[in-house]
Every structure is written in structure tokens, then in C-alpha cells.
A and B are shown apart, each in its own frame.
Chain A
Amino acid sequence: MKPTRSLFWLLPLAALALPLFINPYHQYVINLILVYVLVGVGFNIVVGNLGQLAFSNVAFFGIGAYASAIFTTQLGIPWWLTIIPAGLAGALAGCAASIPALRGVRLFYLAIMTLAFGELMRWTYIRTPFLTGGSMGLTVPPAELFGWVLETETQKFYVFLVIVVVIVVAVGRILESRIGRAFLAIKNDERAAAAMAIPTGRYFLLAFALSGFVVGVGGAMYAALVGHLSPEAFDLVQLILHFAIIMVGGLGSLVGSIFGAILITATPELFRDWPGFEELMFGIVIVLVILFLPRGLASLLARLHPVFKDRYLRDD
């Protein structure tokens, strides 16, 4: 089972050649996909693996994006040095978002409390104009890497690709270890997990922090990609996008998060030339996938080739 996993490396390798074949706009879309891969991978840790209905993901995303943007604009730190701080800001937000869950809030109650966290953050971006530019938004200078300015989409692409590969590999290792098993144990039966000497509270905190870190880094990439942050980018529509990525991709599946990000980000762009059609197609794709592939794209891919099979995905 393991050795075939090395085939996954073909994916980023093939992607390396991608900029040779496409125009800058499509390159932008692909960069956006890379951002949403991290968004999906991070979100799936809490929802798919830990099994909690926690919708604080947009807060992590926005906090990561604003942290990176504020560090660059206010403190003059080059973008590449803000990636890890943005991740840590996201992780800190993750710790904060785990408080209701740690106090025993579950299911719909947790959903509404974490939703409120996301909305509270959006309110905060608007009400702190000295930091965030308020509702006018915050313009970010071009991203800089070791003094090298990332001007073109192609340059950003290569940098993003490295970040995404490193993080996806690291998260994959965590999820396939005793830590990942502890998350799934909690999802399946919290009481039994505790009876296996798994400190459930600590793993709640870890899952939320890890999720926040990954999504926060995605936020830093988003800031570099779009160059301008405004509070309305981090609204409930953004959350629906995140949720669609993991539902369409496959809950609890790392492979699913990646392919969900590709499909959900690319679909509206493919139909961009037909106004009004993009939202319609977006809706149709979601309905079709949920209807015919309730376990997401990951289950389709697993049927095509065993290499895509996540260990947590059942054949059905």
C-alpha cells in the first residue's frame, strides 16, 4: 500500500511544468486553487477527522491573511517572513475556537458558536481601520521572498507549490500517525477514546490549532495572491466555499481536500464567460457530487485507482 503513495509526487512534479502552457489568468486561478487546498486540508482536520461541526475556518483564513498583510504593511516585514507568524496567528485563533468544544459544546450548538466567531472577526476587521483599513480594505505590497519580488503569477505559483507540498506532506504524516487515530477515535466515540487513555481535551486543542495553522498559512498566501484584503471576502459565502470543498472532496480525506479545492475553485472560473452561469454550475456540481458520490470525489478516485485510497475511506 505504501510504495504506491510515491506516485503522488507526480502531481506536484507535473504541476511544475504547468506555467509553460497557460496564460496568467489561468495561472491566477491555479494559484487560488493552491490557497484553497490549504483551506480544505485545514478545515477537514476539524470537521472530517476530529468530527466536529466547527465553522470557524473563515476566521482562521481571515486572521492568517490580515496577520500577513498587517505584518508587511505596518511593520515592513517581507512577506515570506510573515508566513509562519500568519500560521501561528491562525493556530492561536484555533485555540480560541476550541474553547466551546473543550467546554463540552457539540453539534449544532458548536456550529452556531463557531459561526459567530467568524462573523465577530469580520466585524473586527471593519472596526479596526487603523490596522486593517476597515471596510475600505488593506492593500498589500507585492510579496517578497529573500529580497526577490514575486511579480508574476508564475513566480507566486512556484512559491505556493512548495509551501503546499510541505504542509500537505506534514499533515498527511500527522493524520496517519497515532495523533490522526486519536482524532478519528474522538470522532467515533469520545468516551471510548478517553477509556483508551487518549487525553481528548488535548487532542481537541491540537486539531483546532493545527487546522488554524494550515488555514492561516493559506490566508498569508491569499493576501499575497490578491494583493488587497477586504472584510466582505471573509463572509458566510466564503464559509460555504470552504464547506463545499470538503463535502465535495470527501470528509476526512486528505486527497479529497485537494481535489475538492480543484473542482470547487475551478468550476465558477470555467463558466466565467457566461454571466449568471457560474453560480448555477457551482450549485449543480455540488448537488451532483453529493447525490452520486456521498463520500466525495475521494471515493470516486479510490475506485479509479487504489493509490487514491485514503485509509479512512470506505468502499461503498
Chain B
Amino acid sequence: MALLEVSGASVQFGGLTAVSEVSFHAEPGEVRAIIGPNGAGKTTLFKAIAGEEQLSGGTIQFRDEPIHTLTPHEISARGVRRTFQNGGLFGELTALENILAGLHTRIPSSFGGLLVGTKSARDAEKAGTRRARELLELMGIPHVADQWARDLSGGQQRMVEIVRALATDPPLLLLDEPAVGLAPPVRSELLKIIRRLVEEENIAVILIEHAIEFVMTVCDTLMVLNNGELIAEGPPEEVRRNREVLEAYLGR
């Protein structure tokens, strides 16, 4: 059994087929990168996995359970977490509160408990805050904890968003263009973090990326989408030599 099993997934917008019968599976301890020209359907495929787009055909299974009929929050609650292409931080919350929002399902304080201020509700909130601080420390950014998310630099925002997505130890992480706009040192830091997560925590990562050197060093398996179709899949070096890919993507 695969962690994530995508079989014949298609997404249509009116007459346009954005994703066309894509099949692949993701395993724990593996980084999978998706590349492809603009409009190839990469982000649409992500949205379909996350439940933000309906499939017009095919199935998506996570841990042997069909998830393509579930809502985004249900899929997220099952352990599929994602980051967003243009940053999905909550600007009016601090970095710490953003992580706490990521931990939402792990803070067992009830409405009634909070209303009357029971000890268990307060303890749940405190334990969540402690955990959020630990996570920021673990990622080496404890100093941003109490800053407003919208005031953070681009690199810090990306890191906080990744910490937030990882807060609940999800088995599958979807990263939509994690390296775009990052300075080279931050980028290599990010690369190290992703590799460490995959190797030490044994999670599966699927990422969309344009920066080809980043992709080549970070991933174990490279997937190429073109016009919604999966045209190549394999170890990055192999895919790089594929003629069809060279024509479609690299334009040579």
C-alpha cells in the first residue's frame, strides 16, 4: 500500500482539461518534485489532492482511504498538509499564533471549557503554546515568535509556513513552490530541512518547483507535467535526459 495513491485523476474546468488521467503514488521517506511549464496543471493537481478542486475522473487515496470526496479541512485533518504558492500565512496573527492555528486540531479545548475558563481548557491552550514555541526553536527561528506574520521577511514567512504545516507531524507534506524568491543561503537551508524531515521523520514530501537546480538536488523522484499529462517520472538524472521532457519543458 502506498501512502498516497493517485489513480487516473482528471480535473476539468468547463471544456478545458487541466489535469488529465494522472497516476502516481507517494511513499514515506521520499521527496517527489513536480515540474512543468506554466499552465501544465501542477497547482491544480495539488489542489485536487488537498480537496480544493473536484476530480472529474479517477480517485485519490490516502492510507487506503478515498479522499477525493472529502473537504479540504477533512483531508488536512487526516494528515495531508500544504503550503501555498503566494504564502498562506495569517497576516494579522503573530508567527507563534500561526503555528497555533496549525495545531488547531491538537488543542483539545472545548467551547464550554473555554467559556467558563476551566483548568483543562487553559492547560490545553498553554500546552499548545509551548509546543508552538518548541517548533519555532527547532527550526531555528524562535526570535520571530511574537512578530506579526505580515511583517516577516519573505524567507521567514516561508519558514513559518512550513513549520505551521509540519506542526501536527503530517505524514504527507505538499509544498507549492517553496524555493521561489528565496536568497541562495535560505534556499540551501530549506533544502537541508526538507531532506532532514524526509530522512529522519520518514514523511513524504511532494513539491512543485521551477528552480531546476533546487529540484535536482532535493528530490528522489521527478515528475514532469505537460498540458495536464504526466509525461515522465523517475530519478531526476534519468528524467533530465528524457527527450520528450527536453522538448516540452526545457524547449531544446
A residues apposed to B, CB below 8 Å: 170, 173-174, 177-179, 181-182, 184-185, 187-189, 191-200, 206, 252, 311-312, 314
Q: How far is the CA of A181 from the CA of B97 in the complex (A)?
A: 7
CB distance from B93 to the nearest CB of A (A): 6
What is the CB-to-nearest-CB distance from A113 to chain B, in angstroms, rounded to a whole number? Answer: 23
A127 and B105 alpha carbons, distance in the complex (Å): 46
- Which residues in A have their C-beta under 8 angstroms from that of B105? 197
The answer on a CB contact under 8 Å between B101 and A179 is no
The residue of chain A having its C-beta at the shortest distance from the C-beta of B121 within the complex is A177
Cβ contact of A314, chosen from B50, B77, B111, B148, cutoff 8 A: B148
Query: In the complex where A192-B88, A195-B88, A196-B101 touch, is A177 in contact with B76 (Cβ < 8 A)?
Result: no
Does any Cβ of A come within 8 Å of B102's Cβ? yes
> Which of B's residues lie within 8 Å of A, judged by CB?
50, 52, 71-74, 76-77, 81-82, 84, 88-94, 97, 100-105, 107, 109, 111, 114-117, 121, 125, 128, 148, 164-165, 168
Is the pair A185, B81 in contact by a Cβ cutoff of 8 Å? no
Q: Is the CB of A193 within 8 A of B71?
A: no
Closest to A177 in B: B114
Answer whether A188 and B90 are a contact pair too, CB < 8 Å, given A174-B115, A179-B114.
yes
List the B residue with the shortest CB-CB distance to A314. B148
The reply to whether B111 and A198 form a contact with Cβ atoms under 8 Å apart is: no
Whether A182 and B101, one on each chain, are in contact in the complex, defined by CB atoms closer than 8 angstroms, is yes
Asked whether B114 lies within 8 Å of A191 as measured between CB atoms, the reply is no
Q: Separation in Å of the B113 CB from the closest CB of chain A? A: 9
Contact of B52 (CB < 8 Å), options: A184, A187, A191, A196: A191
Q: How far is A132 from B81 in the complex, measured between Cα atoms in Å?
A: 52
A192 and B164 alpha carbons, distance in the complex (Å): 11
**Which of B50, B52, B90, B100 is packed against the most chain A CB atoms within 10 Å?**
B90
Q: Which of A177, A179, A195 has the most CB of B within 10 A?
A: A195
Q: A87 → chain B, closest Cβ, in Å?
A: 13
Residue of A192, A194, A200 most packed against chain B (CB within 10 A): A192
Q: Which of B88, B92, B125 is in CB contact (< 8 Å) with A184? A: B92
A13 to B69, CA, bound (A): 55
A197 adjacent to B104 (CB under 8 Å): yes
Sample of 28 A–B contacts (CB below 8 Å): A174-B114, A177-B109, A178-B100, A178-B128, A184-B93, A185-B93, A187-B92, A188-B91, A188-B92, A188-B93, A191-B72, A192-B90, A193-B101, A194-B52, A194-B71, A194-B72, A194-B73, A195-B76, A195-B81, A195-B82, A196-B81, A196-B164, A197-B73, A197-B77, A197-B105, A198-B101, A199-B73, A314-B148
Task: Please state if B101 and A181 are interface contacts (CB–CB under 8 Å).
Answer: yes
Dominant SS among interface residues on chain A: helix
Q: Nearest chain B CB to A312's CB is how many angstroms away?
A: 6
Q: Which partner residue on chain A sits nearest B71 by CB separation?
A: A194
Known: A173-B117, A194-B72, A197-B77. A178 touches B90 (CB 8 A): no
CB contact between B111 and one of A179, A196, A311, A312 (< 8 Å): that residue: A179
Give the docked Cα–Cα distance between A66 and B243 (Å).
75
Report A295 CB to chain B, min CB distance, Å. 12
- Known contacts being A181-B93, A196-B164, is A206 close to B111, with CB within 8 Å? yes
Contact status B93-A200, CB under 8 Å:
no
A178→B102 contact, CB < 8 A: no
**Do residues B121 and A185 form an inter-chain contact, with CB atoms below 8 A?**
no
Contact of A195 among B72, B116, B128, B148 (CB under 8 A): B72
Q: Which of B104, B109, B115 has the most CB of A within 10 A?
A: B104
Q: Which 9 pairs, one residue from A and one from B, show the smallest C-beta to C-beta distance?
A: A192-B88, A188-B90, A197-B76, A194-B72, A197-B77, A194-B73, A177-B114, A178-B107, A197-B105
A178 with B115: CB separation less than 8 A: no
> Hey, which chain B residues are within 8 Å of A181, CB to CB?
93, 97, 100-101, 104
Task: Pick the most buried of B50, B72, B93, B97: most chain A CB atoms within 10 A of its CB.
Answer: B72
Collect the chain B residues with CB atoms within 8 Å of residue A200's CB: 73
Q: Which residue of A lies closest to B116 (CB)?
A: A170
A177 neighbours in B (Cβ, 8 Å) = 109, 114, 121, 125
B184 to chain A, nearest CB (A): 27
Q: Which residue from chain A places its CB closest to the CB of B98 in the assembled complex?
A: A185
Taking the nearest CB of chain B, how far is it from the CB of A111, in angstroms?
Answer: 21
User: Given contacts A179-B114, A181-B100, A197-B74, could you give 4 more A-B pairs where the C-beta distance is less than 8 Å?
Assistant: A173-B115, A178-B125, A191-B84, A196-B102
Chain B's closest residue to A171 (CB) is B115
- Complex Cα gap A174–B121 (Å): 11
A173 to B128, CA, bound (A): 16
| Chain A min CB distance to B135 (Å) | 14
Chain A residues with Cβ below 8 Å from B125 are 177-178
Q: How far is the CA of A173 from the CA of B124 in the complex (A)?
A: 13
CB-nearest residue of chain A relative to B80?
Answer: A195
B31 shortest CB reach to chain A, Å: 20
Scoring A174, A182, A197 by chain B CB atoms within 10 A of each residue's CB, the highest score goes to: A197
Bound together, the chains give a CA A174 to CA B125 distance in angstroms of 11
Q: Which residues of A contact B77 (CB under 8 A)?
A: 197
Q: How far is the CB of A266 from chain B (nearest CB, A)?
A: 30
Could you tell me if A174 and B117 are in contact, using CB atoms closer than 8 angstroms?
A: no
